[in-house]
Structure 1
Amino acid sequence: MPARQRQQQSRHLRAEAIIEAARSLAERDGWDAVTTRRLSEAIDYSQPVLYGHFPSGKSGIMDAVALQGFERLASKIRSDRGGARTQRSRVTRLVHSYLGFADQEPAVYLAMFARPTALPFGVESTPEQLRRAYDELAESVAGCGGGDDPETFVEVIWSALHGMVMLSRDDRLRPSARARRIRTLVDRFVD
């Protein structure tokens, strides 16, 4: 392997280690606990090495965690949708997939949707990872919404799912009513 390729691979592996350490620390202690100092201690890299990979520091690292999260969310939605044959089953699988992702990766979900970010949404410069996640949402609800504008319809579904995640996370919804909320959401959005 040429030296330049080894250097690039080494750099990529260091960046991945930083991202993984941040995600792990955030899952355990919350995003407020993620600092460049704590990260450098956790992975035994100096703070200048962290800033060499992520010049904007913690915010750049959080954006990298979010981008990886969008990739995993898109993959999960696509996989869970599987061979669903009806609109109802596609939307039901989407809801379970989305809520399940948020339950399984709460700190990643917060980096994606609830923490400040420099990632642009819904514009031409939107990163490909975000576009793929959006496209999987859109594919899951294709054909629903009657005559509504399809993009707006996807945004409304997405907003409803995000609201369910955040309100459940903050214990503002009855845990015992989750299945009923899911049925009600699907009933409202499937023609």
Structure 2
Amino acid sequence: MSVQERKQRERTERERLIVATARELAEQQGWDAVTTRRLAERIEYSQPVLYSHFRGKREIIGAVALQGAAEMAVEWRAATSAAHGPRARVAALAHAYLDFAARNPAVYDALFQLDGGLAYAREDTPQPLKDAFAAMVEVLAEVAGDGVDPGLFTETFWAALHGLATLTRAGRLPPEDTERRVELVVDRLAIT
């Protein structure tokens, strides 16, 4: 291995460590607790080393969001591939979405609540975000209905799930009715 390859590998590992540490700290204490000073202390590197990887917290949030988007796409595809029939796949997608949001609140916030500097629904949208959206479209296109744009339908379904996830987490919707809400969304939107 050349010196340059070793340095690149070490750089990649440091970047992974920064992202993993930021994610862990955010999940434990919230995004307000994630500062470059605190991250530098936790990973035992100086703040300038962090800035050699990320220009600041915003880019770190974006990196956590991209990692989360990739994980979501994998989880959604696994959940929906195990379901049989269009309605069952849509219900599996809805449950996988809400489960991910509940298990990973800081990542969910990085994706959908905080400014990580990421472009959504544009030409320059990063590939992990496109892949996560595509994982939803793959399932929802089956039930969008004749003459309905699958992308627009997916955005609408996604908005309903995001509302359920956000309002439940904020304590504005009682969690014991989540299953009934999911059934209602799936029944009303997923026309098969």
Q: TM-score normalised to the size of structure 2?
A: 0.97
**Match runs of 1:35-184 below 5 Å:** 35-55=35-55, 57-146=56-145, 147-184=147-184
Runs of 4+ in 1 over 2 A off after TM superposition: none
For residues 143 and 132 of structure 2, what CA distance do their matches in structure 1 show?
A: 18
Aligned identity (percent) is 46
State the 1:133 CA deviation: 0.1
For residues 27 and 174 of structure 2, what CA distance do their matches in structure 1 show?
A: 24
For residues 70 and 175 of structure 2, what CA distance do their matches in structure 1 show?
A: 28
Q: Aligned letter for 1:112?
A: L
For residues 68 and 51 of structure 1, what CA distance do their matches in structure 2 show?
A: 19
State the 1:145 CA deviation: 2.2
State the 1:83 CA deviation: 3.9
CA RMSD of aligned residues (A): 0.8
State the 1:117 CA deviation: 2.5
Number of residue pairs matched? 190
Unaligned runs of 5+ in 1: none
1:123-154 Cα shifts (integer Å, max 9, x gaps): 11111000000000001112212122111100
For residues 90 and 123 of structure 1, what CA distance do their matches in structure 2 show?
A: 27
- In the alignment, which residue of structure 2 is the partner of 1:5? 5
State the 1:82 CA deviation: 1.4
For residues 84 and 24 of structure 1, what CA distance do their matches in structure 2 show?
A: 32
- In the alignment, which residue of structure 2 is the partner of 1:28? 28
Unaligned runs of 5+ in 2: none
